Amino acid sequence: MKFAVINFPGSNCDMDLYYAIRDGIKQPVELVDYRSESLAGFDGVLIPGGFSYGDYLRSGAIASQAPIVKEIIRFANEGKIVLGICNGFQILTELGLLPGALIKNEKGRFICETVALKVVNNETAFTSEYQANEVINVPIAHGEGRYYCDETTLKELQANNQIAFQYCENVNGSVEHIAGVMNQQKNVLGMMPHPERAIEEILGSDDGLKLFQSIINYQVRVNN
């Protein structure tokens, strides 16, 4: 399965994600420039964390105007796998590919910490390797990670099982402890925690590895 890691100016977790794919799950992966106009040949698109355009204006806002996004939207609409992590999640909400928005953390400060997450829905392309309600340890590092959506949207998310991960302890004040959500078709996932930083014991946790393995296994099932 061939992955594209999108590189926006200022993205700074692009290489972390690249290594997670190359060394963690040993799949082909390429960095794709934000000016590129094609995602032909890729099976999955990964939007990395970091500070695209310095997080100026609003996190993810300026990136959502880059040339590559037309392709990302097409890709998502074709039902292919799109994963946005941290700033990638913010970009996906700015693009409208995911509902809601990410606003400043409740306490107003940036938080870097490894937190416990609950796998809410383990029957998706991103989570099938986890047990239902499994608790995993994954680092967060964000200043604007508080998930917000209105009541109606929340009801829809719940009714349609679109919530993938919740914080065990609500670190940033997110609605319903939401740490990661999917679109209706569940081929697009955005999450604030960084699974790509949790793929080796030596870095503190390898609980993120199963997320990437789930994607591979899903693709295998689709192809068969």
Partner 1 sequence: MKLVKVYVTLKKSVLDAQGEAIKSAIHSMGYSQVADVHMGKYFELNFADDYADLEKDVDAICDDLLANPNIETYRYEILEAE
Partner 2 sequence: MTEPTAKQIKDEKLYQQWGLTDWEYELISAKILKRLPNYTETGLYSVMWSEHCSYKNSKKVLRKMPNKSDRVIAGPGEDAGILDIGDNQAVVFKAESHNHPSAVEPYQGAATGVGGIIRDIFSMGAQPIAVMNSLKFGPLKDGQTKHLVNEVVAGIGGYGNCIGLPTVGGEIAFEDCYEHNPLVNAMCVGLLNSTDFKHGTASGDKNLIVYVGAKTGRDGIHGATFASDEFTDTKNKQRSAVQVGNPFIEKLLMDACVEIIEKHSEWILGIQDMGAAGLVSSTAEMASKAGSGLILNLDKVPQRETEMSAYEMMLSESQERMVLCVKPEFVEDVLAFFENYELDAVVIGQVTNDKQYKIYHLDQLVTDIPVDSLTEDVPEYDREEVQPQRMIDEQDYHFAPEITDLAATWIEMLQRPNIASKKHFYQTYDSQVRADTVVRPGSDAGVVRIRGTKKAIAMTNDSNSKYVYLNPYVGGQITVMEAARNIVASGGEPIGITDCLNYGNPENPEAFWELDKSVEGIASACEKINTPVISGNVSLYNEYNDVAIYPSPMVGMVGLISDIDNVTTSAFKDNGDLIYLVGQTQDDFNGSELQMAQMGQLKGNLRDLDLDQEKLNQDLIRQAISQKLIKSCHDLSEGGLSIALAKSAFDNDFGFDIKTKLTTAQMFSETQSRFLVSIAPDKQADFEKMLQTDFEYLGTVTTEPEYKVTTATDSVVVDGKIAAKSWKEAIACLMK
Name residue 162's amino acid.
Answer: Q
Cβ closer to partner 2: 51 or 130? 51
Nearer to partner 1, 84 or 208 (CB): 84
When CB distances are held under 5 to 8 angstroms depending on the partner's kind, the choice from partner 1, partner 2, none that residue 100 binds is partner 1
152 lines the binding site for partner 1 (CB under 8 A): no
- Per the annotation, the verdict on 13 as an active-site residue is no
The binder of partner 1 chosen from 62, 92, 138, 181 (CB under 8 A): 62
Is 73 a binding residue for partner 1 by CB under 8 A? The answer is no
- Does 169 sit near partner 2 (CB under 8 A)? no
Q: 41 CB contacts (<8 Å, ≥6 apart)?
A: 2
Contacts of partner 2 in 57-116 (CB under 8 A)? 109-113
Span interacting with partner 1, options 54-62, 118-126, 154-162, 176-184, rule CB under 8 A: 54-62
- Extract long-range pairs of 20-24: CB within 8 Å, 24+ residues apart: 20/195, 20/196, 20/199, 20/208, 20/212, 21/46, 21/212, 24/196, 24/199, 24/200, 24/209, 24/212
CA nearest to 153, candidates 179, 183, 180, 132: 183
Q: Is the dihedral of CA 105, 108, 111, 115 positive or negative?
A: negative
Q: Catalytic annotation on 168?
A: no
Residue 122, CA distances (Å) to 61, 111, 173 in order: 30, 27, 24
Using CB under 8 A as the binding rule, whether residue 108 contacts partner 1 is answered as: yes
Q: Can you give the binding site for partner 2, defined by CB under 8 A?
A: 9-10, 12-13, 15-16, 19-20, 50-51, 53-56, 109-113, 139, 141, 143, 194, 196-197, 199, 202-204
